Each structure stands twice: as C-alpha cells, then as structure tokens.
C-alpha cells in the first residue's frame, strides 16, 4: 500500500545503516513524493532494491531525487559505470562479500542476510566477481 511507503523506506534505511555502519538520515520529501507517484509493479522487493541502490549512491545525508533510478524520475541516467570506477566498485563489493562470509563461517545464506540481499543475488555477485564457492558451507559445522 502506498501509505506504507514512508514507514517501509525508513525501516529499510535503518537496516542498511546498521548493515553498512553508516548514517544516512532518511528519504527527502521530494524523493518520497516520487515514490508515492510510482506504481511499484515489483511490490516491496522493488522498493527495497530502489532504497538499497539510493542508499549506496547517497553516502550520507538524505536520499534525494538524484539517487533514484530513471524509472521513478523519468530522467535519462548517465552511462553505466566502467573503467576505474567499475574496478573500485567491484573491489569494494568483493571485500564486503568476503568479510560477510568470514564472519558467518562461510555460510552463504547467513552472509546474504547480513548484507541485506537475497541469497541468489549473493551467488550471482560471487560468480561475477570470481569469488570461489566456499569448500564448506558453514552449516555442515553444526551437524554431528
């Protein structure tokens, strides 16, 4: 329901703040008004993905219109990140995934939960970044 968007957005920002040890303050009124105007065909999962992307782009302060994807704003976005910027982004992504796996005893499901992403998203990112599948999953350590 559209009236739930502010509450959901606030909860998602708080969750990403905890996971990433950052302090994004929330979503600006202007960005929220665009979210209200959007139909959200992907429901809550799409909202979560939009907030996560905006959170990453924001860095600090409030999530603004400029942090939202083209589908919501109607503007043409810049070309995809490439070159040195893409390499830096991939390095950060790789470090975050490896650290989450280490903290969770190589349990990919637990690492995905910690990162705030779906497990299949984690599996895809690991494959894309060349991170090998752990020899053990971490779950096997708990079995007798």
- Whether the CA torsion 12, 13, 16, 21 is positive or negative: it is negative
pLDDT in tens, 86-106: 676 777 778 888 888 888 899
User: Between vectors from CA 43 to CA 38 and to CA 112, what angle results, nearest 5°?
Assistant: 125
Written as six digits, the tokens of 92 are: 């950060």
Q: What is the C-alpha to C-alpha distance for residues 7 and 4, in angstroms, rounded to an integer?
A: 5
Ordered by where they begin, the domains of the chain are: 2-73 (1.10.8.60), 83-130 (1.10.10)
The yes-or-no verdict on residue 83 having pLDDT over 80 is no
Q: What is the pTM of this model?
A: 0.50
């Amino acid at each position: 329901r559209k009236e739930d968007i502010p509450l959901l957005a606030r909860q998602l920002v708080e969750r990403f703040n905890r996971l990433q040890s950052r302090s994004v303050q929330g979503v600006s009124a202007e960005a929220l008004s665009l979210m209200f105007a959007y139909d959200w065909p992907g429901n809550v999962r799409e909202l979560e993905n939009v907030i996560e992307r905006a959170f990453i782009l924001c860095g600090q302060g409030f999530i603004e219109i400029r942090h939202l994807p083209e589908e919501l704003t109607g503007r043409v976005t810049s070309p995809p990140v490439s070159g040195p910027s893409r390499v830096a982004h991939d390095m950060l992504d790789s470090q975050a995934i490896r650290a989450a796996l280490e903290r969770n005893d190589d349990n990919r499901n637990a690492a995905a939960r910690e990162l705030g992403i779906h497990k299949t998203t984690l599996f895809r990112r690991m494959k894309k970044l060349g991170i090998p599948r752990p020899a053990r999953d971490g779950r096997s350590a708990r079995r007798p």
